[in-house]
Amino acid sequence: MKLGKDSIFKIKARALLKGLLISWRKGFRQLEVGCDNALLVELILAGRAADSHLTEMRLIHHLLSRNWKILVRLTSRSQNTVVDHVAKCMTTNSI
């Protein structure tokens, strides 16, 4: 399956959202999040996720505003293999 750049962005956003939801539900209140998508990280850090047309981005913004401490940073693709695996699983609906 060949994915476009906008599809990859949405998949990465969905994987990040799912990771944040799981972390919140498990009771984590301090979290460091690494993402290899520069645009996604930039939108989150600039606070522009709240105004996004993507539901995933607005939900990410809502989660980040909860009472917890989160550091979002850009990582290299090789350091982000877990999120890549989750994103692949989401495209095949195996999660």
Q: Does a structural domain hold residue 3? A: no
Q: What is the pLDDT of residues 75-92, one digit of tens each?
A: 887 766 766 677 677 677
pTM of the full predicted structure? 0.76
Distance CA 91, CA 11 (A): 8
**How many domains does the chain divide into?**
1
Q: Does a structural domain hold residue 24? A: no
Q: Does a structural domain hold residue 22? A: no
DSSP-based three-state secondary structure for 46: coil
Q: Does a structural domain hold residue 71? A: yes
pLDDT of residue 92: 74
Q: Does a structural domain hold residue 20? A: no
Q: What is the pLDDT of residues 13-33, one digit of tens each?
A: 999 999 999 999 999 999 999
